[in-house]
Chain A
């Protein structure tokens, strides 16, 4: 976390730096099926985050010997573009943070995908952070879930993710980058909307037992909006075609 001495005031009279209230999500817009070659894809804009997620699979396992005869193998690559941050150029290639995020993201989807339906195969999930402004792992998971559904992968549910943080005694929903840098705590979560269970849970900072429960509830409330955006994106793929037919295209 950044040096607190230089910390900007993150919350003044109930308003955050970008004008939001403590319990407000940044605007989310999702478009599904944006890439031709991938089996499924989604472009997600979440505040200033721009994320492109794509899925290939079920496809042949490479190398062949890594195939699991009983179920599909899920592979996930989370990566940030060199031009994604408001600042210096980032070197290409996976760093330790990206590798960790790739792992915990993979574990989210290993839970919801019906792996036994595709034995011996590989399902590849690619998450490219084209522009980053805090909460990119949550944005990545939210986009990847849409890409997986768009690819026709069998799943229990369409997962969403969001982070909740803390500044002083206030819990803040969906931290942007500045808030993440100066907050006292950040807790990203991925949730299965159907049963409310946590599939990704990370936290660093300082939080009480009650605050954890409050934060989870904030995430679930926000989840209604996020899920709606995911569903709208997936249905729009078909609605757009219907509109074109009506207009005689």
Chain B
């Protein structure tokens, strides 16, 4: 990002050569993860996730709409993301940046590929389906938006109550039916500095990365992958990271479950 982050990045690289991270974490440890559900009750579902100081709010909205031409009996699912200008001094207002679009599409990909929402269950009647909108609102940026956003959207979806359908309209004041969720995915984002691989890079570590890799799994199978930045990944490294990603799923899924159960 800026010159300050560059200096911090150089220091990160120096520590990495000694096998250390600034906050004393293990290479494959997450920062402290906190998930709170139902922050915005006007939304059909919502959640705020903190990973370290990164803070992401996800809101789910549902409305009655028309299906896509090629899937006339399926509902629609759309993910959008905004890197709000209040999240970091370098974020600007304006049309969606490539970073925010990539974030939305990567989160979307994992959830859609695992069929987390059975879109066929969102069919109402001919020409009418439920549309599910997931909006990712980044409130504070300290690295690793992918994992925070996937956790936030997933928790929000698991907590979504559908509006009642009556006389051709959605009745928002009555929301009791939970959105049918088939599967839960979790993403794990890794960074590569030299030959060292690390999990959950914070903002200073992101400034030092050669490559970044996000792997989304449902605990058994890989559902989405996204490599970022201009460095490269070897196939042996990839194999190792997929293994770690599947292992980490349990920890992340448990956090989602606990958040959803909270009263």
Contact = CB atoms under 8 A, between A and B. Distances in A.
Decide if A and B are genuine partners.
Answer: yes
A21 interface: no
Nearest to B132: A89
A41 interface: yes
A83 B85 contact: no
B55 A35 contact: yes
Given A37-B88, A77-B93, A131 B41 contact: yes
Given A37-B87, A77-B93, A131-B41, A89 B61 contact: yes
B222 to A, nearest CB: 30
A35 B42 CA distance: 23
A126 B139 CA distance: 11
Contact of B61 (A88, A128, A130): A88
A54 B43 contact: no
Interface in A95-136: 124, 126, 128, 130-133
A48 B42 contact: yes
B85 A86 contact: no
B140 A35 contact: yes
Secondary structure type dominating chain A contacts: loop
B172 interface: yes
B53 A83 contact: no
Contacts of B74: none
Contacts of B141: 37
Given A59-B89, A83-B40, A88 B63 contact: yes
Given A38-B86, A41-B86, A56-B89, A131 B140 contact: no
A83 to B, nearest CB: 3
A81 interface: yes
A75 to B, nearest CB: 9
A92 B140 contact: no
Contacts of A244: none
Interface in B147-193: 170, 172-173
A27 B4 CA distance: 42
Contacts of A169: none
Contacts of B39: 50, 130
Contact of A83 (B60, B87, B88): B60
Contacts of B139: 35, 52
A84 interface: yes
A93 B82 CA distance: 10
B59 interface: yes
Contacts of B137: 81, 128, 130
Among A56, A83, A126, find the residue whose CB has the most chain B CB atoms closer than 10 A: A83
Given A37-B88, A126-B86, A83 B42 contact: yes
A36 B84 CA distance: 14
Interface string A119-160: 000001010101111000000000000000000000000000
Interface in B32-89: 39-43, 46, 53, 55, 57, 59-63, 80, 82, 84-89
Contact of A81 (B55, B86, B135): B135
Interface string B111-139: 00000000000000000000101010101
Interface of B: 39-43, 46, 53, 55, 57, 59-63, 80, 82, 84-89, 93, 95, 131, 133, 135, 137, 139-142, 170, 172-173
12 contacts: A36-B53, A37-B86, A56-B89, A83-B60, A83-B135, A88-B61, A89-B62, A126-B84, A126-B85, A128-B137, A130-B39, A131-B42
Interface of A: 35-38, 41, 48, 50, 52, 54, 56, 59, 77, 81-89, 92-93, 124, 126, 128, 130-133
The 9 closest A-B pairs by CB, nearest first: A83-B59, A54-B86, A89-B61, A83-B43, A126-B86, A89-B133, A88-B63, A86-B42, A82-B135
